[in-house]
Amino acid sequence: MSSPANDSDSPKPLENLGAFERWRRKAMLVTGLGVTEDERLEYLMERSRVSCEEQKLRFMQRSPAVVFMLKHLKAAGCELPSSNIICAPCDRRSAGGFNPEQGAIVLCQGVFFGDAHMENTMVHEMIHMFDQCRFKVDWLNLRHHACSEIRANSLSGDCRYSRELRIGSLAFTKHHQDCVRRRAVMSVSRNVMCPDQATAERVVNEVFESCFKDTRPFDENRTGIKYRPVVIAWCIHYLRVTQYASQTRHFRCASSEAFVSYEADWHLV
């Protein structure tokens, strides 16, 4: 009679292992040594999902902007439970999305370059949800889509100066409007009803003024900025001397200490 199959060779869940074995197993999964590529990818995907879920819950409890939007969505009759904000792998071109049929928001796990990026994405998609709830947006109508994109990009923090500096955008005049317009055109151009880039640009331009001024549910644009002239001078000097931004498309403006504390330095309001 053959003996029962030995399960000792099959991988055990990390929580069932001792401390050293857990550490060893994690090291194997992270490095890919001693495990299959599928096992490693599965581990990394799950770790990314868990991290995204934990951060999502923290923002829902502690982020003033996210809590504010949750409050106003509920008041508008579209309460957003945590189960309807889903962390999932998705297209690397996107950081998140809103599904109007399901009343759900998707956060693209593993693509956020920092807490502020994820927070801004949550607020961006929640503004889309607010528009859907209050104004019954027809997402196949390019003017409707453009208006919601203008509002979401303007009010979410997507076009904060600090974030644009991170990708090497250095315009100091009408920066916010230009960023909002550019991002709205990019989103509308992906609409299945949009035939080309020129159409997206035309539609965004047609509705820009009225939609940009509409800050509901905020009393005013919360992401407008005032910045110190000394910081601008430092940035220009740094760019001229090192040409770092043009070479790498990433711009650390001033010293590392100033970069870390940019929100205080630039008086974000």
Catalytic residues: 125
CA distance readout (Å), 199 to 143, 204, 257: 11, 9, 44
Q: DSSP characters for 128-165?
A: HHHHHHHH---TTSHHHHHHHHHHHHHHHSTT-HHHHH
Distance CA 102, CA 95 (A): 18
Grouping H, G, I as helix, E, B as strand and the rest as coil, residue 85 is: strand
CA distance readout (Å), 42 to 38, 49, 112, 128: 6, 11, 19, 32
Instruction: Answer whether 226's CB lies under 8 Å from 266's CB.
Output: yes
> How many CA atoms lie less than 13 Å away from 23 in the CB half-sphere?
2
User: Which residue is it, tokens 């809103």?
Assistant: 98
